[in-house]
């Protein structure tokens, strides 16, 4: 009789625990179109990227702070004959309370690393690698915060080399002025078992800047000016004197008025990606135009829709590098709903938002 009661009590306990939890769900659509006209460049490829991500998640929440989610990010590439081109699992634990947030597992990366500038990640990373596999922790508020994160990008096998990111960023606002810091180190190691032809490599980027940012309630969402330094550390342990420390100045000027905006970033300094000829994009995930000593990116965009649940943006990006001008056309649309009832304050709609709500 006792042996029978034990599983009965365990079943009742599990059922009562599950009944006391909140069933939560999320669903998102992310459409991207990115046509790059880079034929003049010797630093990157000319290509068109287009597709749509669908990312449903379902989970349990308890104690208003603990959440477990499982789901998938499914990518359909535009024009592909496949029903599904890439499917990445989503499974993570999320702890959140006032001024603190923690993730562990495989979870969407776009919102968590949205503060990083375009110098750190090339466009294809955002389009084709939507999940972060590791941990993310942040403390602070929207205007003053610090975070740490780890993202595993390669598990060592006889064919695949071990690789991962370790990153940290911070931001501190002082009325109109701010101090901002972004960084990561990419570690590109060996296979298992070890291949004597390979060596251990590292690529570190760190950007610190100071500036001023102004906004008001009459239409100016952003008026930002900042200057800073982009430092680096690149090492190939198999090469004698194989450590390099590239440094350069970065100037930013951004403006956004009633849905029309521009973001301008100038880099002037040492060329980056010293070992690109050996390791290509396998080691370097940053903006490929940093391989030149001078680079200016000027992005112009229109928020065709900006509401609580949908964000659509049409853009024209200009790139000045190697004494040439190149450009790309972009369109992105992100829509997300959930049952968490914790939506951020609805941003001020643009003049076209009412067409889509």
Strand runs (DSSP E) across the chain, as ranges?
22-37, 48-62, 66-77, 86-97, 100-108, 131-140, 144-154, 163-174, 177-188, 201-214, 220-236, 243-244, 247-257, 260-269, 294-306, 310-321, 324-338
Rounded mean pLDDT, 101-124: 94
Asked if 292 contacts 322 with a C-beta cutoff of 8 angstroms, the reply is yes
Q: Which residue, 350, 344, 334, 143, is CA-closest to 257?
A: 350
What pLDDT, on a 0 to 100 scale, did the predictor assign at position 298?
Answer: 98
- Count of domains observed in the chain: 1
Distances, alpha carbon 179 to alpha carbons 149, 171, 229, 250, in Å: 20, 6, 12, 14
Rounded mean pLDDT, 255-272: 96
In a domain, 115, yes or no: yes
Distances, alpha carbon 308 to alpha carbons 261, 319, 342, in Å: 19, 32, 11
Tokens of 266: 């100038």
Which of 165-169, 232-236, 338-342, 353-357 comes out lowest in average pLDDT? Answer: 353-357
Range of the structural domain that residue 328 is part of: 24-355
pLDDT of 1 > 50? The answer is no
Asked if 175 contacts 184 with a C-beta cutoff of 8 angstroms, the reply is no
What pLDDT, on a 0 to 100 scale, did the predictor assign at position 63?
Answer: 86
What pLDDT, on a 0 to 100 scale, did the predictor assign at position 219?
Answer: 84
DSSP for residue 353: G
How many angstroms separate the CA atoms of 249 and 177, rounded? Answer: 19
Q: How many residues does the chain have?
A: 357
Asked if 171 contacts 177 with a C-beta cutoff of 8 angstroms, the reply is no
In a domain, 255, yes or no: yes
How many angstroms separate the CA atoms of 228 and 209, rounded? Answer: 4
In a domain, 3, yes or no: no
What pLDDT, on a 0 to 100 scale, did the predictor assign at position 111?
Answer: 86
How many angstroms separate the CA atoms of 258 and 218, rounded? Answer: 8
pLDDT of 10 > 60? The answer is no
Q: Map tokens 């003053």 to a residue.
A: 144
Residue 34: exposure state from Cβ atoms within 10 A (0-12, 13-18, ≥19): buried
Report pLDDT digits (tens) over 182-238: 999 999 999 999 999 999 999 999 999 999 999 998 889 899 999 999 999 999 998
Rounded mean pLDDT, 137-159: 95
What pLDDT, on a 0 to 100 scale, did the predictor assign at position 3?
Answer: 52
Q: How high does pLDDT run on average in the chain?
A: 89
Asked if 50 contacts 9 with a C-beta cutoff of 8 angstroms, the reply is no
Which of 54-63, 92-101, 215-224, 308-317 comes out lowest in average pLDDT? Answer: 215-224
SS3 193: coil
In a domain, 122, yes or no: yes
pLDDT of 18 > 80? The answer is no
In a domain, 348, yes or no: yes
Find the CATH number of the domain harbouring 89.
2.40.160
In a domain, 326, yes or no: yes
Rounded mean pLDDT, 31-36: 97
pLDDT of 353 > 60? The answer is no
pLDDT of 14 > 80? The answer is no
Q: Cα-Cα-Cα-Cα dihedral of 150, 151, 152, 154, to 10°? A: -140
Rounded mean pLDDT, 316-328: 96
Per-residue pLDDT band at 159 (split at 50, 70, 90): very high
How many angstroms separate the CA atoms of 310 and 29, rounded? Answer: 9
In a domain, 74, yes or no: yes
pLDDT of 15 > 70? The answer is no
Phi and psi, residue 19, nearest 5°: -65, -30
In a domain, 241, yes or no: yes
pLDDT of 351 > 90? The answer is no
């Amino acid at each position: 009789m006792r042996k029978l009661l034990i599983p009965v009590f365990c079943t009742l306990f599990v059922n009562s625990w599950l009944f006391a939890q909140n069933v939560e769900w999320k669903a998102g659509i992310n459409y991207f179109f990115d046509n790059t006209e880079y034929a003049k460049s010797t630093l990157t490829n000319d290509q068109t990227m287009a597709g749509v991500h669908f990312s449903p998640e379902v989970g349990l929440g308890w104690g208003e702070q603990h959440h477990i989610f499982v789901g998938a990010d499914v990518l359909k590439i535009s024009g592909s004959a496949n029903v599904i081109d890439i499917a990445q699992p989503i499974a993570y634990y999320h702890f959140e309370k006032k001024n603190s947030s923690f993730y562990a597992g495989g979870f969407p990366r776009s919102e968590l690393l949205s503060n990083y500038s375009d110098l750190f990640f090339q466009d294809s990373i955002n389009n084709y690698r939507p999940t972060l596999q590791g941990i993310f922790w942040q403390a602070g508020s929207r205007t003053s915060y610090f975070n740490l994160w780890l993202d595993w990008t390669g598990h060592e096998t006889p064919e695949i080399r071990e690789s991962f990111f370790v990153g940290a960023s911070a931001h501190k606002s002082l009325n109109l002025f701010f101090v901002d810091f972004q960084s990561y180190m990419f570690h590109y190691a060996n296979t298992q078992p070890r291949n004597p032809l390979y060596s251990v490599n590292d690529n570190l980027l760190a950007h610190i800047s100071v500036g001023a940012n102004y906004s008001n309630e009459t239409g100016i969402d952003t008026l930002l000016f900042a200057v800073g330094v982009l430092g680096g550390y690149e090492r190939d342990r198999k090469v004698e004197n194989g450590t390099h420390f590239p440094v350069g100045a970065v100037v930013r000027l951004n403006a956004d008025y009633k849905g029309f905006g521009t973001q301008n970033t100038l880099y002037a300094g040492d060329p980056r990606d010293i070992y690109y000829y050996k390791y290509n994009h396998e080691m370097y995930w940053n903006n490929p135009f940093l391989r030149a000593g001078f680079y200016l990116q000027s992005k112009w965009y229109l928020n065709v829709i900006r509401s609580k649940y949908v964000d659509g943006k049409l853009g024209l990006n200009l790139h000045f590098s190697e004494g040439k001008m190149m450009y790309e056309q972009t369109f992105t649309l992100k829509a997300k709903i959930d049952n968490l009832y914790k939506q951020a304050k609805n941003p001020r709609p643009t003049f076209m938002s009412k067409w889509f709500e």
